[in-house]
Structures are given as C-alpha cells and as structure tokens.
Amino acid sequence: MICQLRYNVIFFVYLSLSDPITSDIFKYNTQLQYSLYTTTAGRTGSLVFSLLDKDPRFDVVGLVRSEKSAKKLVDKTNCLLEEVVVCDVTQMEFNKADDECDSHPWPYALDNTEAMVICTSATPQISKLSLIKSMLKIPTNILTGKKAINFRDLKFKYKAGQYPEKVDYIGQKKQIDFAQKLGVKHIVLVSSMGVLDPKNFLNEIGKDKDGNFGDILIWKRKAEKYLCLSGLQYTIIHPGGLVDTKPSTAELVLDVDDTLMKREKKSISRGDVANLCVAALTESGDRSVSFDCVGQEGESIKSAEETLSSFLSTGKTADYTLGPKGM
C-alpha cells in the first residue's frame, strides 16, 4: 500500500476565475507526506482540501496566491489561518539560465514533493443581456411546451487573460513544468469528459465572433497530452457534468474514450470526483491511467478506492490517438 510510504503531493486547483490565474499550494503530512497546490476558490478543489484536512492521516498547510484566496480557503474549510501561506507560483521562471532567475523561487517547504493534483479550468461569465432575453421568453416557452430556459441560448464570455488556452493549456503546462522542477513523480489531473466530440457545445462557450477564446475541451486535451509526454506518472480523471449532490450515494462508473457519453445520465457529484482524486493518490501504485467517470443509481455503492482499484485491474486507459484534428 502506498499509504505506508512517506511522500509529498502538490495540489493545483483553478475552477473559479474571479482572480487571474493563480497558484495555491497545500502541504499535508502523514505517514504519506502530502503537499497540495491550489487556488482553492473552486468548489471541487475546496472539497478535496477538506477531505485531506479532516483525514487524520493528513496535516494540511495551504500556500495561496493572495490574501483574498487565503481568506476564502479559511472560510470554506475552517482550516487554521496559520495553515495558509501566500505565494504565486505561476510567476516563477524555470527555463531561463540560472543567472537570469531565482534558482529556488518556491518555498523550501515544497522540496521533496512526490505527487501533485491539478483541477484547473477556465470559467466563463454569463452575458447579462442574454440572460434577460432568456427570462423574457419563459412564459412563451412554458405555454408552448418548451423548456423554460434553453441553456444553449445563453451567451458566455471569459475575462481577459482567463480564456481556456491561457488557463487550461498554458497554465497547466506551467504547473507540470513546476512538478518536474520539484522532482514530483505522480500527477493527478482533473479534466473533462466529451473531448472526442468535435461538436461538443462546451467548445462553443465563450467564443467571440471570430471563433477565438473558446475550445475549452480541446485545450484541456492538449494539456493532457503534454502531461502524458512529460515522463511523469499520471492519473487523468474525466468527470461528466459536475453536480453538487451528496457524494458516496451513487455507484461510480469508470470507462474510457467517451463511452459513457452514450448514457442518459452523464453527471457526477463533485464530492465523488474529490474522492477519486484522493483514491488516485493511494491506489494507483506506479501505474499511469486516464479514464472517464459518472455516477449512476445502484444498490451496492463501492468506495472510490474500491472502484478505482477494480478499474485499474482491467488495464484500460484512454487512447490519445483519438480525437478531432488539432488535438
């Protein structure tokens, strides 16, 4: 069991773009010794941190980009203020000559880190005008038997500098480069299901009239491939639609290559994704794997650890030769 070893894990999360791209780090010690790197504003990231903070095997300390992020983390997780340190890792330079940059720009507490969890995602903002237009259509839609609000009629945009290419590709590459600089051995990356469908509407969200600033699934896929080629051990998790339902109440179903997209129900609890992140750290051994995940009703609910362990025994993993051109 990996949990009999001592190792460090860094955890990257960026699911809320109320601030520019940031880098927050949590360090937690056990008989496993973990470090987490995150921007903590995201709901999924906060759930993972909470799991580790409440687990007696872990001693968590957060390194966040700003005092605002630190306050959010403390408020969301009830962790102690002294467990949080402010620092911005995304501004670090790793590839310049030693005389051009600080040779050790990160806190020494992160040295000897062995694993990292990344849950990075650009988040679009809804157009208020499109929302008003959709609300005005509600009475007519109801009378004609249509959905009150059609989500795909809404318009979205990303804040400047916070579009998918910047956050989901360039930002994740920076995190992976940082992992290599630290000597990290294992990265857990939370991405998204549905990438193999070139017409997936998620890629259209946030695009301007010239077709720029969208394609979130394509940029996520490119970051995944960068990780696969990094030489590091990886666990890549592709959740279906994230919902805020109670975790551990649905049967977790794992598969690969968007097979689960054919199901009627393609959602999964954020809490279950958080549980899978933790399970990936303790159950993966030395294996690299990439898989999709959703939840379904079931009589026998297995834990995330049991589900992942069973899936790993099948030897399945995503085929990165698949996908639309440009991926």
194, 202 Cβ separation under 8 angstroms: yes
How many Å apart are CA 108 and CA 87, to the nearest integer?
12
- Active-site residue, selected from the candidate residues 191, 192, 269, 284: 192
Strands 251-255 and 289-296, bridge-based pairing: antiparallel
- CB half-sphere exposure, 180, CA atoms < 13 A: 15
Quickly list H helices, the chain: 43-54, 67-77, 128-136, 138-143, 164, 172-182, 216-228, 270-283, 304-312
Distance CA 145, CA 69 (A): 44
Least Cα distance to 202 among 238, 148, 228 occurs for: 238
Three-state SS at 70: helix
Please indicate whether residue 192 is annotated as part of the active site: yes
* Type and span of the H or E element at 84: strand 84-86
- Report d(CA 278, CA 31) in Å as an integer: 15
For the chain, the C-alpha Rg in angstroms (whole number) is 20
- DSSP string spanning 232-272? SEEEEEEE-EEE-SPTTSSEEEEESTTGGGGSS--EEEHHH
Packing angle of the helix pair 43-54, 270-283 (nearest 10 deg): 50
Name residue 124's amino acid.
Answer: P
Active site residues: 192
